[in-house]
Chains A and B, each alone.
Chain A
């Protein structure tokens, strides 16, 4: 049992060795592609207000995104 545990730990450590800074760290001067808008978590964040406006018109109601309504769309 101990040998199995040791083998698992050793394998995990060997695997983790691949995650050292030498291999995965992106240097500050290499971040050109990361700096692009499409790399944002919400790429269309700048369009959010516009999309909310369209949503409100389409649904003929303002708000309605939070959970206090029943979802009937009858407000």
Chain B
């Protein structure tokens, strides 16, 4: 009869298994979503200076409004592509208590400012939303951002309602509008 393989008694595999489990345990926090805001949890607060001026805005001061927090950068093509759509969203829902907060995370604000000026001259409209600058990328880190761009829909009580990783397409934009309508009720 063939001798059975006994894993537990094996002198070689037991320390090996222990080592593998130690390594997995060590790397687990980075692989998990611990600390990442999820729908239904309070949105982490932040206070940042404006992209065009030094006037700081904190998320807490926007309580009572439905907020779409959009984290973007000028080197991110899809971030720039959705900006015009986001301007339209702000225009549509702004008067009803909606505030779009676009946080730029470029290493230097110059190209973001240039892009927004070009957008303004092309569309003949001011962006109309709150533009903040986060050189240290603290908001991206606090929100454990996993895609560029990412948008977070935050309700009037400061609770994260929805998370949208990636840029908005025509269909996801409709989903966003429906979620904003729902949050504004």
Contacts and interface: CB of A to CB of B under 8 A. Distances in A.
A75 interface: no
Contact of B26 (A10, A20, A29, A36): A20
B30 A20 contact: yes
Contact-residue bracket for chain B: 20 to 34
A67 B20 CA distance: 50
A interface majority secondary structure? helix
A14 to B, nearest CB: 8
Interface residues of A, number: 20
Given A29-B140, A32-B107, A35-B75, A13 B19 contact: yes
Contacts, number: 55
Contacts of A25: 30
Interface of A: 2, 5-6, 9-10, 13, 16-17, 20-22, 25, 27-32, 35-36
23 contacts: A6-B12, A6-B16, A9-B16, A10-B15, A10-B19, A13-B20, A17-B23, A20-B26, A20-B27, A22-B26, A22-B27, A22-B29, A27-B145, A28-B145, A28-B147, A28-B148, A29-B140, A29-B145, A31-B148, A32-B73, A32-B106, A32-B107, A35-B76
